[in-house]
Amino acid sequence: MNYMNDFPELQQQYAPSHPKRHRRRWKWVVLILIILGIAGGVAFKYLTQANQIFTGDKNIFARIGNLLLSPDKELIGESNGQINILLMGIGGPGHEGALLTDTMLVANINIQTNEVVLTNIPRDFMVDLPKYRLQKINAAYAYAERDNPGTGGEAAIDEIEAVTGLEIPYYAVIDFKGFVKGVDDVGGLDITIDRTFTDAFYPDYKNGYLAPVTFTKGPEHMNGERALIFARSRKGNNNEGSDFARSERQKKILVAFKEKVFALKLNDLKTLNNLLGAFTDNFRTNMEPHELKRLTDLGSKIQEQSVYSFSLEPDGELVCSALIDLATGKPPVPIAVPPTPTPPPAGGPTPTPSPSPSPTPTPEEEPELDNPSTTAYVVIPCVGKTLADIHTHLKDSIYFAKLKKESAIVEIQNSTGKTGLANSLFGTLTNLGFEIKFTSFTGKVPLEQSIIYDNSHGGKPNTLEYLNSNYKLTISDVNYTGSTADFVIILGKDAL
């Protein structure tokens, strides 16, 4: 079976202003000037350092000029109501696979509704890179940056655009050291942990693992290192090992950091100077200062409850995981490896070895670029699906993200007596974040019409809208007292 039937697509390369009050404009300009170090007689040193943050060949004085003259110039995509930014995290110097992108989030900012969707792109998504053929998508930045420093961001954007179908004009990348120092410089972050979990396989900085790390449900004040572990953890128990759970945690970190930065005072020179130092060597973006200023103005209108998480993690329907031979694009031929025999009990018979199972796809740790693995765990469109299907799916990412956030419990009863009907109609809803419970019909007479009871009392409106729009259901005006589920659906004869 050839999983690469769609991957030729991956080879393709992919206003009016809103014046603010002058006081607000100049306050922001003063903040930028302080950040850039025009204070204390060390102007040139800090200006030079600050300019390293921005890619391109403009000098810092030209950038300040644009900030002064065009502080409210619209961003690319703003006239269409949506701004897309690729956010990336890398290990940085001292880490294995230092340039491989550990995190790839596309921030979709809807300026009409003031909502943001953070879409997590699995780092294992397989793409066809120019010069390097089949690779995981997290290698796009690394190979380009290694071969031609300063081009990694654009290379990553090309591949992400091919996978998502989105136009992404901007990117920002930060390494672990800059992240940790930035969080510490603002005094740490206050995070509410949704559920207790432990990660027993969090990597240390010596190609091994830390002692099991536990996060306990409830509020916690995190320093930079603790926040990094919280954001990066991939092997947590209690349903915290998924890409979606990870993107939810990263969302919490981003929102908390934004609130801390927005709360900075203009006279807090020490903190501003420390942040500049943290970002000079560890942060890069193709956004210009005036564009960052505009983004800050737009971001100030966005509330925490309007930031949503979404993930392209494997669901078995649209996106699948597989073991692939990167040289051929096909599944590898399983190699039978005899299991280590178990010593027989004293005086007992020698046990018969069981046959070795075929390899099971599991996420793996990233290798160095110079030593790529031929066989790799990857994420790809499922058989029969294409990138075009993923593009269509992502057009509704805000809708699906809202469903995930509500995480409704839906109980299904089947009054028709037809075996398998409920599962055939509602079984795939788990991919949208629903918890589905199939229970026995408690009535005696089959219903003529399918009915839905809203036990959430209107508390999960997006779920109710989705169910009512996609299924033929009559909404009851009373609750279903015999269930603790958010919604109870009883299938009637009209569902046959």
Give pLDDT tens digits for 232-262.
998 999 989 888 888 889 999 998 988 888 7
Predicted confidence at residue 325, as pLDDT, reads 87
Q: How confident is the model at residue 123 (pLDDT cuts 50, 70, 90)?
A: very high
Summarize the confidence of residues 268-286 as an average pLDDT: 75
The three state secondary structure string of the chain is CCCCCCHHHHHCCCCCCCCCCHHHHHHHHHHHHHHCCCCCCCHHHHHHHHHCCECCCCCHHHHHHHHHHCCCCCCCCHHHCEEEEEEEEECCCCCCCCCCEEEEEEEEEECCCCEEEEEECCCCEEEEECCCEEEECCHHHHHHHHHCCCCHHHHHHHHHHHHHCCCCCEEEEEEHHHHHHHHHHCCCEEEEECCCEEECCCECCCCCECCCEEECCEEEEECHHHHHHHHHCCCECCCCCCHHHHHHHHHHHHHHHHHHHHCCCCCCHHHHHHHHHHHHCCEEECCCHHHHHHHHHHHCCCCHHHEEEEECCCCCCCEEEEEEECCCCECCCCCCCCCCCCCCCCCCCCCCCCCCCCCCCCCCCCCCCCCCCCEEEEEEECCCCCHHHHHHHHCCHHHHHHHHHHCCEEEEEECCCCCCHHHHHHHHHHHHCCEEEEECCCCCCCCCCCEEEECCCCCCHHHHHHHHHHCCCEECCCCCCCCCCCEEEEECHHHC
Q: Name the amino acid, one letter, at 325.
A: D
Of 46-55, 249-258, 386-395, least confident by mean pLDDT is 46-55
Average pLDDT across the chain, whole number: 81
Longest dimension (CA), the chain: 91
Predicted confidence at residue 222, as pLDDT, reads 96
Predicted confidence at residue 24, as pLDDT, reads 46
Would the pTM count as exceeding 0.85?
A: no
pLDDT greater at residue 343 or residue 420: 420
pLDDT greater at residue 84 or residue 38: 84
Predicted confidence at residue 265, as pLDDT, reads 65
Indicate if the pLDDT at residue 416 is higher than 90.
yes
Domains of the chain: 407-495 (3.30.70.2390)
Indicate if the pLDDT at residue 231 is higher than 70.
yes
Indicate if the pLDDT at residue 22 is higher than 80.
no
Of 91-95, 162-166, 333-337, 485-489, least confident by mean pLDDT is 333-337
pLDDT greater at residue 19 or residue 402: 402
pLDDT greater at residue 23 or residue 62: 62
Of 59-63, 393-397, 411-415, least confident by mean pLDDT is 59-63
Indicate if the pLDDT at residue 463 is higher than 90.
yes
Predicted confidence at residue 66, as pLDDT, reads 73
Of 35-39, 229-233, 258-262, least confident by mean pLDDT is 35-39
